[in-house]
Amino acid sequence: MSHPEPNTVSDPTAEDASTGTDAEPYGPRTTADHAAASHDPVDPVDPSATTPTDDEADKPRWRRDATIFLGGQTVSLFGSMLVQYAIMWHLTLETKSGSVLALATVFGFLPQAVVSIFGGVWADRLNRKFLIIAADASIAVTTLALALLMLSGTDDLWLIYAALAIRSVGAGIQMPAVSSLLPQLVPVSKLMRVNGINGSIQSAMTLLAPAVAAGVYASASIVAIFFVDVVTAVIGIGLLALIPVTKVLRADEAAGEKVGYFDDLVGGLRYLRGHTFVRWVLGLYAVVFLLIVAPSYLTPLMVVRTFGEEVWKLTANELAFSFGAILGGVLLATWGGLKNRVAMIVGATFVFGVLSVGLGLSTNMWVFFTFMFLLGVAVPAFATTSMTVLQETVEPDRQGRVFGFVGIVMALAMPLGMLIFGPLADRFSVESLLIVSGALMFLVIAIAVLVPSGRRAMRAADAHSTVAA
């Protein structure tokens, strides 16, 4: 039977409404938790306060639970990706309208960004397992209703927009719960490897889902894909139901206090403002995800403009990136990453900058594809490490709210990045935008490591990695 993370008492070094002091910059909630419980201050750079405790003995069935959980999420994700591709293709073929596609993107991403912060609060107040099940079930019912309406001959655009919006709301509720549930199932020492496996699976889905969606859409219809999504949701819910999960006991509940929903919401904002390390990670994560839009989404345009319009070249570009991401996740799952998580995040950002500049300077197509492959390999080193370090650092009863903010970044980075880089690509060459994006990455690194919070994070991470070694 799986067990939740140990009960956590609020850290006195974290900012609250009265003190305004900073929380410790880095480290899993271990020795610091016990010190917080006794209300003794913890030195934020003291290695003993940041050394991870191996809690594998407390979770004897973690391999079984993690396998079932990731299996269910993979099946559910597969169905969701089929619907995502099918709807965009359907709207493209039926309307041939850029405005329609733009609205579909807004309805598909904006609700998730808005709801994520509220979903994070729910993830910290409710049983995360049941929250995920409720979100999945709501999405499935919506998709089933749309399928039945389209079978009856009703296929108005507003119905598709409404379905996209509801699915996006469900994703905004689900994402913080999924990200914060995984540390309840998996020992801290295994989180990086499990997240690496999960990243590889998701990258593999980006290869498989378009091919399957194209086959089903061509041989049957979009309605058939909707029914497949409903079935995958039912399977995902069924697998998750097999995992015993208890609600994380919050510090205020343990003290007999009753905190309102909006008090929790404000508390999450205060936590981010006061916890310098978490704020630093989220800030870097947001800026890098915005800048990575250029090499991730504009490269097909460069392929067409520079190397030719053949479809196989566009396919090779996507395959190079996807296979690289799969390999990067496998390497991370096998290796486990650097003990110094901060150095790994900063190093991956530097690699992004080098590869983005390399892509912009490439005049040979195969060199270009090699850089795309290496970019894919580097993505897990940044994205997976960022998620893992938050799971290791943030108290279990606050992780939902923190990952709610991560969900906002994930939902807005791509559309906002395309809003910036898309029009620029019509005025300037993609090559120049890639070079500028890479140069900005270097500037971001310099700022990130020179600001006081960055310097403290680097020092604490060095101390943590030294002790852990």
pLDDT tens track for 245-264:
988 877 766 666 777 778 88
**DSSP readout, 118-141?**
HHHHHHHHS-HHHHHHHHHHHHHH
**What percent helix, strand, coil does the chain show, rounded to 5?**
80, 0, 20
Mean of pLDDT values over 206-214:
87
Mean of pLDDT values over 201-226:
89
User: What phi and psi values does residue 148 have, to the nearest 5 degrees?
Assistant: -65, -40
Q: How far is CA 35 from CA 12, 44, 48, 429, 456, in A?
A: 9, 12, 11, 56, 21
Q: How far is CA 39 from CA 11, 19, 135, 173, in A?
A: 8, 14, 38, 34
pLDDT in the model for residue 259: 75
Mean of pLDDT values over 353-377:
95
Quick: pLDDT tens for 368-407.
999 999 999 999 999 999 999 999 889 888 999 999 988 8
Quick: pLDDT tens for 426-461.
888 889 999 999 999 999 999 988 888 777 777 766
pLDDT over threshold 70, residue 9: no
pLDDT in the model for residue 58: 74
- Nearest Cα to Cα of residue 385 among 444, 433, 345: 345
Q: How far apart are CA 235 and CA 172, in angstroms?
A: 21
Residue 55, amino acid: D
**Cβ–Cβ contacts within 10 Å for residue 129, how many?**
20
The larger pLDDT score, comparing residue 223 to residue 410, is at: 223
Token look-up 């990086």 returns: 192
User: Rounded to two decimals, what is the model's pTM?
Assistant: 0.79
Mean of pLDDT values over 328-333:
92
Angle at 72 between CA 68 and CA 78, to 5 degrees: 145
**DSSP readout, 58-109?**
G-TTHHHHHHHHHHHHHHHHHHHHHHHHHHHHHHHHHH--HHHHHHHHHHHH
Quick: pLDDT tens for 332-346.
999 888 888 888 999
